[in-house]
Chain A
Amino acid sequence: MNIAVLSGKGGTGKTFISVNLSEVAGNSTYIDCDVEEPNGHLFFKPTNITRNSIYVNIPEVDNNICTGCKKCVGFCKFNALAYTNKVLVFEDVCHSCGGCSIICPANAITEKKKEIGIVEKGISNNVSVISGIMNIGEVSGVPIIKESLKYIDNNNYNIIDCPPGSSCIVMDSIKDADYCILVAEPTIFGSHNLNMVYDLVKLFNKPHGVVLNKYTDKNNPIEEFCNEKNINILEKIYFDKSIGNLNSNGEIVSRVNDKYKELFSSLLEKVTKEVWHAEITNP
C-alpha cells in the first residue's frame, strides 16, 4: 500500500508524519522524494547504505560532422540549443527529450550521460530508507524521483515523503499513491496551501484526508475550510514542544513516546481502512 504525504508548503510536518508512519508500520519502505532537501534519513540514520547514481541524457554535437543546418535549434522547444559557428548546448535548459539527436540529418548529435544525483538505500530497524538526493544546482528532480519510486515494495507499506508544493515533482511523487495524506497547519496561510494540494489530489482522483499538525484549540480557519469543502480530517496533532525537542534532536517521536506511537498507529489504521474502502467501492 502506497501512502503519499504532501503539503502546499514546506515546514508543515510532512517528514514528521512520514517518518513516524513508516516507523509504526514495521516492515515498510520510507521513500524521501523531497530530492532538493531530503531529511528523513536524519531521523532513521540508516545503515548498510548503497548508492545509485542517476543520469540524464544531454546532447553531444560532433562539430566536424555538423553541417550548420540549425534544424536542431529550431526543433528544441526549450531553447537549449543555439548555433553560432558551432552548436552550443545549454545543459541546464535541456529537458533530455532526445529530439535533437533524432532530427539531425547529418547524425552529428549523440547523447552523453550527465549525473544529476543519487538514490541512497539503507535500513533502520525494519524500515527500508530510500532517499533521492539531487546534486546542488540541478534544475529538475523528476528522474531521481522516478528512480526512487522503483523501490516500492508491493507486499508492504510504502510511505512517500513528497516535496512541498504542487508542481511536476509532486505529481510524479503521488502518481503511484493509493492514498494521499495532506498535512496542514491550522492558519489562514495553511488553508491557502492546503487548497493547492487539495486541488491536485482531486485532479489525480486520489483518496485523501488531512492531518492538522501543530493544532491548537484557538480559532482554526483550516478546520472551517475542511468542513466547508467536506474534506476528511484524519487526525489533529496538538502543538507540543516535546515533539519539537525530539525532532530537533533527530529522534523518531513514536520510537520513544508511547502516546505518539498510538496516535500514528491509529492514523495508519484509518488510512488503511480508507484504502480498502476505496478499493471495494471503486475497484
Chain B
Amino acid sequence: MKIAMPVSEKSIDSYINNTFGRANYFLIYDTESESSVFIDNTAAASQGGAGISAAQILVDQNIDSLITPRCGKNSAEVFENSNIKLYRSIAGAIKENIELLKEGKLNELTEIHAGFHGVGRNNNRGRGRR
C-alpha cells in the first residue's frame, strides 16, 4: 500500500504539514518495501486551484491513502474519484502516523472544508477580491 503525506521537510523524522495543497513536499511511503520517497509539490505556488493540482500529483503517483490534517472539497473530489482513502493525521511525527495507520488506528477524514483560497463556494469571501 502506498501512503502519501504532506510534509514541510524532506525527512522521515519530520512532522506532517498542517495543510495539504500548499505543503512543500509529499512523502510517499510504501508499506510493503518500507521505502519512502519525497516529491516536490509543484502545485504549492499556484495562484489558485493548488489543492486540485496537488491531488493530481498524488493520483499520478498511484497512492492508495493520504494522511492529512485537513483537505479541501476540490481535492477531496479528485481523491474520491480515484478511490484514494483519506485519513486524519494526529499531531505528531510522520513515523507515528504511519504506524497508527498500519495498526488501523487512524480515523478516516470526513470533514471537508470549503477551501481557503477563494476558489470554493460558500467560504465567506470578502467583497471585491477578484
Residues of A within 8 A of B (CB): 10, 36-37, 73, 78-86, 88, 90, 92-93, 137, 139-140, 142, 163-165, 167-170
- Residues of A contacting B52 with CB < 8 Å? 79-82, 90, 93
Of B50, B81, B120, B128, the contact of A167 (CB 8 Å cutoff):
B128
Pick from B46, B122, B130: contact of A79, CB below 8 A. Answer: B46
- Which segment, of B10-18, B53-61, B85-93, faces chain A? B53-61
By a CB distance below 8 angstroms, the chain A residues around B82 are 84-85
Q: Interface on chain A toward B: helix, strand, loop, or mixed SS?
A: loop
Given the complex of chains A and B, what is the CA–CA distance between A90 and B115 in angstroms?
13
Which residue of A has the minimal Cβ distance to B120? A92
- Point out the residues of chain A lying under 8 angstroms from B127, CB to CB: 10, 36-37, 163-165
Q: In whole angstroms, what is the CA distance A187 to B55 when docked?
A: 46
Top 9 A-B pairs, shortest CB-CB distance: A79-B49, A165-B128, A84-B81, A79-B53, A84-B82, A79-B52, A93-B49, A82-B78, A137-B121
Q: Report the Cα distance A127→B74, complex, angstroms.
A: 45
Complex interface: chain B residues within 8 A of A139 (CB): 118-119, 130
Q: Which residues of B contact A (CB under 8 A)?
A: 43, 46-50, 52-53, 55-56, 59, 74, 77-78, 81-82, 118-122, 127-130
Task: Give complex CA distance A46, B128 in Å.
Answer: 26
Residues in B with CB closer than 8 Å to A78 are 47-49
Question: A-B contact count, CB below 8 Å?
Answer: 71
Bound Cα distance from A78 to B74, whole angstroms: 13
5 A-B pairs within 8 Å (CB atoms) are namely: A10-B128, A84-B78, A137-B122, A164-B128, A168-B130
Given known A78-B49, A88-B77, contact A93–B129 (CB-CB < 8 A): no
Q: Which of B56, B81, B129 contacts A85 (CB under 8 A)?
A: B81
The complex places the Cα of A163 from the Cα of B55 at a distance, in Å, of 35
Query: Looking at chain B's contact residues, is the secondary structure mostly helix, strand, loop, or mixed?
Result: loop
- Known contacts: A73-B56, A93-B74, A139-B119. The answer to whether A79 contacts B128 by CB under 8 A is no
Contact check, B130 vs A83: say whether CB atoms are below 8 A apart.
no
Across the two chains, which residue of chain B brings its CB closest to A140?
Answer: B130
| Closest B residue to A76 using CB positions | B49
Chain B residue at minimal CB-CB distance from A74: B56
A93 vs B74: C-alpha distance when bound (angstroms)? 10
Cα distance A169–B82 in the bound complex, in angstroms: 37
Set of chain B residues within 8 Å of A165, measured between Cβ atoms: 127-129
* Contact status of A163 and B128, CB under 8 A, knowing A79-B53, A82-B78: yes
Does the CB pair A79–B48 fall under 8 Å?
Answer: yes
CA distance A164 to B43 in the complex (A): 31
| B78 neighbours in A (Cβ, 8 Å) | 82, 84, 88
Chain A residue at minimum C-beta to C-beta distance from B125 = A139
B81 touches A86 (CB 8 A): yes
Give Cα A170 to B129, complex, Å: 10
Nearest CB of A to B74, in Å: 5
